[in-house]
Structures are given as structure tokens and as C-alpha cells.
Amino acid sequence: MRIAFIAHDKKKDDMIEFVKRYRDLFEGHELFGTGTTGSLITEIIGLKVHRFLSGPLGGDQQIGAKVAQGEMDFIIFLRDPLTSQPHEPDVNALLRICDVHCVPLATNLGSAEVFVKALKNREESK
């Protein structure tokens, strides 16, 4: 699967801990991320992540373009619902394009856990 990681600044630590927990699962997939999030996953966890621009500089839209082209299978986007984001229109566009193309999108740790456990179960049953 092609999996993208995006995390707002206050959620980056949560993303790192989450990816660490499922490192073995993620290393068998093609990974993508916005600039800083992707860099942190590579530097701290050691997974190879294709990095796009930072979210505010267009990274969210780059991932959205991959979704629209059928080149992304799953997005984990840990959003900070309590902080206003200057690139909120880009965020909303990504959410919309995932809905339009029926691409699973986890926006918090609870939904990310459900999706990743389903992926793990699917792989174990092969």
C-alpha cells in the first residue's frame, strides 16, 4: 500500500510514537509524508519516506494530487482541532478529495488505530 503521513505541529510527537508502535507493519509499504513529518519519521524511526513539501507550502495538496490520480491508498493525518491553521483551505481540500475518491483517511489516533489494525489483520490472513 501507499501510505501518507501528515501531522500538525502539536501532533508530530503523537505521530512519531504511533509509527514507532507499528514500524514493522509500515516498513513493508511505500511511505510518503509532508516535509517535517516525513523527515522526523525517517530520522527518528529509520523508515524510508518520500517527502513532499511542508503542509503549509503545498505538501497537503501534493498528497491530494496523488489521491486524485489513484496513487495513494491510505492517509494518516493527525490534525490539531484546537489550533487555527493558516492553510485550512488546503486541509479541507485534502479531506474532500479523500472522500471523493474513497481513500481511507484517519484524522486522529483512534481512527488511525482502527485502520492500521485492519491492515495488520489483512496482512496476517494472507
Residue listed under C-alpha cell 491530494: 64
pLDDT at 50: 98
Binding site annotation covers 48? no
- Interatomic CA distance for residues 9 and 46, integer angstroms: 20
Q: What is the pLDDT of residue 88?
A: 84
Active site residue 60: yes
Tell whether 50 is in a known binding site: no
In three-state secondary structure terms, 51 is strand
Catalytic-role residue among 9, 14, 60, 73: 60
Work out the burial of residue 86: count CB atoms within 10 Å of its CB; fewer than 13 is exposed, 13-18 middle, 19 or more buried.
Answer: exposed
Residue type, 44: I
Rg for the chain, CA atoms, rounded: 13
Cβ neighbours for 95, distance < 8 A, ≥ 6 positions apart: 105, 107
pTM of the model: 0.95
In this prediction, residue 56 carries a pLDDT of 87
Q: In whole angstroms, what is the distance from residue 10 CA to residue 12 CA?
A: 6
Residue-range domains of the chain with CATH: 2-124 (3.40.50.1380)
Over the chain (126 residues), what is each successive 10-residue block's mean pLDDT? 97 98 96 97 98 93 97 97 83 95 97 96 87
Residue 55 among known ligand-binding residues: yes
